[in-house]
Amino acid sequence: MFLITLFLFLQLRKPLVEKLRRERINSSIEQLKSLLGPEFLKQQPDSKLEKADILEMTVCFLTQLQQQNQQQKTLINHFNNLQSSSDKNLTEDDFCLLSSTVQTSITKEKSPVNIAPWRPW
């Protein structure tokens, strides 16, 4: 009798646990959507973003941030090498070169805002 009661309890509990799991997923996706900002939402103002769209945009955005972070580290290393490789103070030309390198790397980045979500239709 105990086993039957336990089995019934677990059977009744399973949908509740699944519902809570789905609510957590949906809440997190809504948070991601709000964090992505209005630029992403302007892409397709007439259509509702699907969960997959929001996740794809988030991956795109995080990938871009990761690339920018790596470029910044490279530029900082380059700057530090310039400083340590010479006993002289950095000249204005050195700063101009570094500044133009930073500007070039920023403009080369393809913004995820310009990437439309994948649609099979």
- pLDDT per position as a tens digit, 37-96: 776 667 666 667 889 988 998 998 899 999 998 888 888 887 777 767 654 555 656 666
- Angle among Cα 120, 118, 22 to the nearest 5 degrees reads 95
How is 54-118 classified by DSSP, letter by letter? HHHHHHHHHHHHHHHHHHHHHHHHHHHHHHHT-SSPPPHHHHHHHHHHHHHHHHHSPPGGGSPPP
Domain extents in the chain: 1-36, 54-121
Residue 99 confidence (pLDDT): 62
Distance CA 40, CA 55 (A): 12
Residue 1 confidence (pLDDT): 74
